[in-house]
């Protein structure tokens, strides 16, 4: 439990749930494991960069919870709150802001609209991720990194035509 393997979702069941016993509606099973396995099952929908982001982000999210899994200090509610506080940082630090629109739409589809409804913690993490991406693009603009680099940025797959998605 102190070294979750890459590209594996069992940390949520065998470490967090086994230790905290949050039940089928608690964060480890109802969100962590469920969303992690959805990403694994649908990875083929993501671009190569999107798949790399997925694996790196899975690892980041799990490693952020290792101290809690080892200490067992928080309650299930505190564990969920802590986990959600790590999401935006893991998404952004692993490059979600530089993924193409197609990958963003696939990520939203994988997570599922039903996941967003009725949970303020999830909505908060989406807004925080958007805010961090806006800061990233502002930093690029302020540093003049956009100037004369359209083709290079385009190669990063930042701009997919929404029409190409269908």
Share of the chain above pLDDT 90, in %: 51
**What 3-state class would DSSP assign to 95?**
coil
Comparing 16-30, 91-105, 134-148, the range with the smallest average pLDDT is 134-148
Please check the confidence at residue 98 and state whether its pLDDT lies above 80: yes
Write out pLDDT tens, residues 27-81.
999 999 999 999 999 999 999 999 999 999 999 999 999 987 777 667 999 999 8
Please check the confidence at residue 149 and state whether its pLDDT lies above 70: no
What does the mean pLDDT of the chain come to? 82
**What 3-state class would DSSP assign to 32?**
helix
142-146 mean pLDDT: 57
* pLDDT at 68 (0 to 100): 77
Region of residue 5 (phi > 0: left; psi between -120 and 50: alpha; otherwise: beta): beta
**What 3-state class would DSSP assign to 108?**
helix
Confidence of residue 166 (pLDDT cuts 50, 70, 90): very low
The top-scoring range by mean pLDDT among 9-13, 147-151, 162-166 is 9-13
Judge residue 49's burial from the number of C-beta atoms within 10 Å of its C-beta, 0-12 exposed, 13-18 middle, 19 or more buried.
middle
């Amino acid at each position: 439990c102190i070294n979750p393997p890459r590209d594996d979702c069992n940390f949520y069941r065998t470490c967090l749930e086994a230790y905290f016993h949050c039940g089928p509606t608690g964060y480890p099973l109802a969100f962590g494991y469920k969303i992690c396995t959805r990403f694994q099952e649908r990875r083929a929908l993501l671009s190569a960069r999107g798949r790399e982001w997925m694996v790196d982000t899975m690892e980041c999210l799990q490693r952020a919870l290792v101290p809690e899994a080892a200490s067992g200090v928080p309650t299930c509610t505190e564990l969920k709150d802590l986990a959600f506080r790590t999401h935006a940082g893991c998404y952004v630090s692993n490059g979600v802001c530089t993924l193409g629109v197609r990958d963003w739409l696939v990520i939203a589809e994988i997570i599922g609209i039903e996941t967003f409804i009725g949970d303020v913690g999830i909505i908060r993490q989406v807004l925080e991720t958007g805010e961090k991406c806006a800061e990233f693009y502002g930093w690029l603009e302020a540093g003049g990194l956009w100037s004369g680099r359209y083709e290079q940025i385009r190669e990063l797959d930042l701009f997919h035509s929404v029409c190409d998605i269908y």
